[in-house]
Structure 1
Amino acid sequence: MTVYFYHTQDLNYIYREWKAGRFPAHLLYGATHLPDEGIGVVMHKHSKPGSRRIVSALRNAAKVIFCKERFDAVYATKYNGLELLIFLRALGLYRKPIVLWHHQPVVLSKGWLKNMVSRLFYKGIDHMFFFSDHLLEVSLATGKVTRDKAEQCPWGADLVYYDRLMAAHTCERKDFISTGKERRDMPTLLAAFAKCSDQHLDLITAADCCGTNYEEMLSVASIPENVSVTINRTMWIPELAERILPHKCVCICCKETNYTVGLTTLVEALAFGMPVVISKNPNQPFDAEEEGCGITVDYGDTECWVNAIRRISDNPEEASLMGKRARSLAESTYNIANCAHIVANALRKFEK
């Protein structure tokens, strides 16, 4: 069996970097491991997105439809850019199955026309992977998705990559770090560390993301002396991983959302064997506190963040045990090899 692998990012570059050992495989959603499962992969030829959504959809549909290499199904990291192909599949005008990851819950639209179009759209997707059971159940409740065409899949980090990184950079782990950019609650995090002046936080974030200008926000905020701020303009996953490594705990302080915001940071912390302090989000695939690998905190609760920071800093043995449980969870479930195996099993249903 062979699949056509579609990614919204430059997967050709990422794949080359992964082959050279300079990039983790989980950003390719198991495609790197599908050959080990007996499934060949045809890589989508990336090009810069068009300024208009319809232009990208037309271009990507043409690349898939007129691809000269033989493949049995399309496997995609998300539907963005494949909308036209999916509608063609729904109308019976494209014959090959489409399997993809759905990053947010399927929802009911406002108005009967939007719901009708949306139902037609999802008819064109043969199988979907959701990051958590909660996202799956919410989506099933809309009636637009059926259980036989959807499942939860434990997406996780490339343990081989992180093991190699840890072996090459042995160091003492100290201080806290926050590296996220999507829907981060900076005021709560800064207020908590202002009350924990003996604990240092390395805060790394993008200049702006999802409509929030963090650079502007942080330029006028009162930054405690124990917080170092870096506006990230060039670092990607590999560089950020090296920055995370010498720390004792990862902070994932988020605003309330309807999806798994912070999941990439979370699974990478598991791979590093680091405890986490994370906003309690029912959309995540697991509860860090219930799994014993971290502390969950209610949205916007500064005092709970202070207590969590103190608990990590004042109880190094407990924090170390959390880290060991985190790594154990990564090895048993949340790793890219396990993810790829589940993806492969789903893809095989469409083998010809």
Structure 2
Amino acid sequence: MKNIRIVFLTSLTKEQIQDKPSNFAYYVKNMLSDKRLDVRLLNLRNVVTKKGIRGVWQLVNAINNEKPDIVYLTGLMGLNHLVICHALKFLRCKIFTWKYTFCATGRNKVVHFILKNIYWKNISRIYMAYDRHTEKALQDGIVKPNQIITLSRGVEYQWYEKFIDKSTKDNDFTVVATGKDNRDYDTLCAACEKAQVKCYVYTRKHDSCLKAAKKFANSKYCKIVFMEDLHVTDEYEYIMQQVGKANVLAICCTDVPYGVGYTNVVEGLPYCIPILITSNPNAHLDVEKEGIGYNIALYDIDDWAAKLKYLKEHPEVRTKMANNVERLIKSEWNDSVTSSFIINDMLKNKDL
């Protein structure tokens, strides 16, 4: 079998990809080390210098010049034109992509016809993040079963071990929250004050985050830290180091029609600490079902406070949840399982 050539659209260099955990760059780190694959990195900023149709044409030509079998995408946002180019036979390779939202079906009959009979047919493989989204796409008949699958985003847990600080966990019960999009830090901080537990939030200066920081500026228990103010060399590693000091990871979110906070959950697994997250019916990994945390209703300050206080007062529960997390990451939820599936999928791409 000849090597399968993969073009991965990214702004990262090979060195940057190899320096981070495999889940950070969608398992390309593992693909680069697999001799059966010929992985080429393509930076959009380097090849697209024009706007509109001319920019699209530049990108399509840059991909075609690599003569790939597959172009591998972390998502379709901003790249829908590649699917159209494939339908028009301008893009001469298969498209494999991840997707975190529902597959659009169209608001009228004409758009629905185009999406069902042209657009979605020109994507060979869709790795969905959430089961409900996969089921809906199949029910709507806009994709076939061999085009789509829900794929767990396993984590390279060994990479994170250097950030786990066990000494701080024993000194003071601490909650850490990270993330910037669709976060509800107002509810989280109010709950932490009510439960009287320390909470550190690491985020960016979105309007809602700024309002929460102003509201809880004088809080005895909560501190909201903006990454823009720190000027750290590597934000990702800095944040992962802060999570390593926590007893609990909190992912408090607003109401959105997809599984918000999923990346946070995945990156929290290596620390083997309880994960508290706002309930979302789209979630692929149910922390409560797996016994690694609790789902909490939207904007429920009382329940957040109760769960945090309970975990603070019951270290044996935290230990039990830690053991359950360890079981998960050593079975399905690790990068070896996920990357092996993707690589084997790619090797069989001619049959898709």
**Which TM-score bucket, shorter chain as reference?**
0.7 to 0.9
Percent identity between matched residues is: 20
Give the distance between the partners of 1:83 and 1:59, measured in 2 at CA: 15
Report the residue type matching 1:135 in the other structure: H
Q: Does 1:71 align with 2:68?
A: yes
Give the distance between the partners of 1:327 and 1:53, measured in 2 at CA: 48
**Secondary structure of the corresponding residue to residue 10 of structure 1:** coil
Report the residue type matching 1:88 in the other structure: C
Question: Structure 2 vs 1, CA of residues 187 and 165 (structure 1 numbering), >3 Å: closer, same or farther?
Answer: closer
Report the residue type matching 2:83 in the other structure: I
Answer with 27-36 or 48-57: which moved more: 48-57
Which protein has the bigger helix share?
2
Of residues 134, 154, 157 in structure 2, which corresponds to 1:156? 154
Of residues 214, 219, 223 in structure 1, which corresponds to 2:214? 219
CA contact (8 A) 2:21 2:155 kept: yes
Report the residue type matching 2:302 in the other structure: E
**Secondary structure of the corresponding residue to residue 88 of structure 1:** helix
CA contact (8 A) 2:168 2:245 kept: yes
CA contact (8 A) 1:6 1:44 kept: yes
Which 4+ stretches in 1 moved above 4 angstroms? 48-56, 220-223
Superposed, 1:10-25 pairs within 5 Å as: 10-12=11-13, 15-19=14-18, 21=19, 23-25=20-22
Give the distance between the partners of 1:294 and 1:135, measured in 2 at CA: 23
Give the distance between the partners of 2:125 and 2:68, measured in 1 at CA: 17
Q: What is the TM-score when the length of structure 1 is the normalising length?
A: 0.88
Report the residue type matching 2:150 in the other structure: Q
Q: Which blocks of at least 5 consecutive residues in structure 2 are unaligned?
A: none
Greater RCO (Cα-Cα under 8 Å, separation 6 or more): 1
**Secondary structure of the corresponding residue to residue 45 of structure 2:** coil
Deviations 1:247-272 (A, max 9, x none): 10000001122222111111111111
Question: Structure 2 vs 1, CA of residues 320 and 346 (structure 1 numbering), >3 Å: closer, same or farther?
Answer: same
Q: What is the TM-score when the length of structure 2 is the normalising length?
A: 0.88
Report the residue type matching 2:188 in the other structure: L
Superposed, 1:152-301 pairs within 5 Å as: 152-166=150-164, 171-173=167-169, 174-197=173-196, 199-208=197-206, 212-220=207-215, 224-233=219-228, 234=231, 236-301=235-300
Give the distance between the partners of 2:174 and 2:50, measured in 1 at CA: 42
CA contact (8 A) 1:76 1:100 kept: yes
Shift of 1:29: 0.8
Question: Structure 2 vs 1, CA of residues 58 and 307 (structure 1 numbering), >3 Å: closer, same or farther?
Answer: farther
Shift of 1:18: 4.1
CA contact (8 A) 2:7 2:68 kept: no
Q: Does 1:95 align with 2:97?
A: no
Give the distance between the partners of 2:291 and 2:337, measured in 1 at CA: 21
User: Which position in structure 1 is the counterpart of 2:6?
Assistant: 4
Deviations 1:225-264 (A, max 9, x none): 2001101225632221011101100000011222221111
Q: Does 1:105 align with 2:109?
A: no
Backbone CA RMSD of aligned residues: 2.4
Question: Structure 2 vs 1, CA of residues 315 and 46 (structure 1 numbering), >3 Å: closer, same or farther?
Answer: same
CA contact (8 A) 2:157 2:269 kept: no
Superposed, 1:295-314 pairs within 5 Å as: 295-314=294-313
CA contact (8 A) 1:190 1:223 kept: no
Give the distance between the partners of 1:238 and 1:264, measured in 2 at CA: 15
